[in-house]
Amino acid sequence: MKTLTVFTPTYNRKHTIGRTYDSLCRQTCGDFEWLVIDDGSSDGTREWVESLGDKVQQEGQQFDWMGRVSDGVDENHFVIQTPKFKLEYVYKPNGGLYTGYNVAYATIQTELCVCIDSDDYMPDDAVEKIVDYWRQNGSLQYAGILGLDYNIATKELIGGKFPEGLKEVYFYDLTLKNLHAGDTKPVMRTDLMKQVAPQVGFPEEKNFNPIYMMLQVCDKAPVLLMNENLCNVEYQIGADSMSQGIWRQYVNSARSFAKLRLLEMRLQRNNLKNRMRVSVHYVSSCILSRDEGWLNKSPLKLMTLLLSPLGGMLALVVMWKNRKVDR
């Protein structure tokens, strides 16, 4: 069995996923498999995948819209042997990015896994660096590895490098202790991710961040750090960027954000200041989702109650920002 699975959730990205595939074909180490999770594409992604090699498995597990295993087998789940590596393809109804992660964690059998989006691609030696570093330093003590992302357009590091000499860290400490600012590329132990999957979301909300699963795992075990480029990222700016779209997501996926904030309140690797910040965001999300049971659900009821006026003010800001974006 291979050591690593690269998994790629995709939705109507036939025009970019070829770049992802080409980068995998150039890898200096072949100790990996590729899993493509097609989240309801209608642009010919499946036909493109089928053109890459011969099918060695005609059908597989069936998944529902949330990425949960359902009864029966599905011809939309098959395996292809490309000239360079095994490619597993799963088609499912559209449900959002986190549902693709659910499919991945239910399907992957290798020791490690890493998500490379269909807009992005890996440097030619990324798999080799991951596998070698894990063989030299990895153990059951660690949840995985954190590497770095680089901007495709500028070829520059997104954010900064990890502190020199720091070999391992609890993921949440990167922010709480100001150890790192910018993107990271997580390479996770598959067995640990399977323990917290699937991530259960809401039918109308597709922007539930899959970091929800990673936070649960990384609250209990540290990750190893690699100051190496593991992914070249299509980094968007302007109206289509995450920073601009986040205001709309706060409204459209308010229940998902509230659920994420509840998890953050419970994390062991947290501090008072951040719990207060999270409580404010939780109240805001509950107001936006009209959840009347917000206080009963909070694990920090007194803090949440005392900070509820600030949460109300944040909800007003979010609604104002949304009106501004929509103009």
**In this predicted structure, what is the pLDDT of residue 182?**
86
With 70 as the cut, is the pLDDT of residue 241 above it? no
Residue 48 and residue 89 in contact, taking contact as beta carbons nearer than 8 Å:
no
**Confidence (pLDDT) at 236:** 63
CA distance 158 to 181: 9
Average pLDDT score over residue span 180-202: 96
CA gap 223, 91 in Å, rounded: 31
Beta-carbon contacts of 232 under 8 Å, excluding residues fewer than 6 positions away, are 23, 120, 121, 122, 123, 149, 150, 151, 152, 155
Q: Where are the alpha helices (DSSP H) in the chain?
A: 14-25, 45-50, 97-107, 126-137, 173-176, 190-196, 211-218, 242-252, 254-266, 272-289, 294-297, 301-306, 308-326
Which pair of structure tokens corresponds to residue 189? 């132990």
Predicted confidence at residue 88, as pLDDT, reads 98
Does this model's pTM top 0.85? My answer is yes
Q: What are the residue ranges spanned by the domains of the chain?
A: 4-235, 239-326
Nearest CA among 15, 183, 21, 213 for reference residue 100: 213
- Tens of pLDDT, residue by residue over 101-111, are 999 999 999 99
**Contact residues for 21 (Cβ-Cβ < 8 A; gap 6+):** 34, 52
- Average pLDDT over every residue of 167-175: 95
- The pLDDT, as a whole number, for residue 324 is 66
The fold for domain 4-235 equals Spore Coat Polysaccharide Biosynthesis Protein SpsA; Chain A (3.90.550)
End-to-end CA distance of the chain: 53
